[in-house]
Amino acid sequence: MPLDNPTPPANPISAMNNQPDKMDKALHLKLIAAWWDGELEFLYADCGWKPANRPPHSESEISRYRIRPKPTLRPWKPEEFPCGAAFKHVGFDAVKGTGRIYLPTIQEDHGVYFPGINSMVFYSFEELLKAYVHSTDGGKTWKPCGVEESQ
C-alpha cells in the first residue's frame, strides 16, 4: 500500500560526517562566506567574540559563530561634538571635493548654528548626521557627523 506523503530516509553519509543537514546548509554557506570576507567571529568562553580562524565544521559548532554586526551611526551628544571641526554638505559638491565649508559659531544642547547669508541657521545633530560630513584635520579627511556604535 503506497503512502501519500512518504518521508525521505535520513542521509547516513551526512550523519556519519557530522555535516549540517539540508535546513542548515544555507546558514553554513553564509558563515563560510563571512569567514572568507573576514567578518566571522567565534565565541571564546574566556574573552568573548574574536575573529574566527576557520569556519564551523559541524552543526554543533554553528551556535558558537556569528557574522560580525555592522556598526550603526547615531547623532552626537552635546559633549561628543568635535569643537573646531569644519563641515560640508554631503551632496554633489562634497563628492567632487569642492563646495562650501562651514564652521559652526554657536553650539547648543541639540545642535549648532552655521552662519547664513543674512542670519544664523540652526542644524540639529540629527540633521548633521543625515546631510553633513566633518573634518578635524583641515579638510584632508571627511567623516560622518555621528558616533559609530556596534550592535
Which H or E element spans position 29? helix 22-36
Residue 77 pLDDT greater than 90, yes or no: yes
> Does 41 score more than 50 pLDDT?
yes
Write the CA distances from 52 to 37, 49, 73, 98, 129, integer angstroms. Answer: 11, 9, 25, 42, 33
Contact 51/38 with Cβ under 8 angstroms? yes
CB contact at 8 A, 142 and 135: yes
Tens-digit pLDDT profile for residues 79-101: 999 999 999 888 755 455 556 88
Within 8 A by CB and 6+ apart from 67, the residues are: 30, 31, 34, 39, 40, 41
pLDDT digits (tens, 9 = 90+) for 126-136: 999 999 999 99
Q: Where is mean pLDDT largest: 8-12, 36-40, 51-55, 143-147?
A: 143-147
Q: What is the pLDDT of residue 112?
A: 93
Rounded to two decimals, the pTM is: 0.56
The answer to whether the beta carbons of residues 28 and 37 sit under 8 Å apart is: no
- In this prediction, residue 143 carries a pLDDT of 92
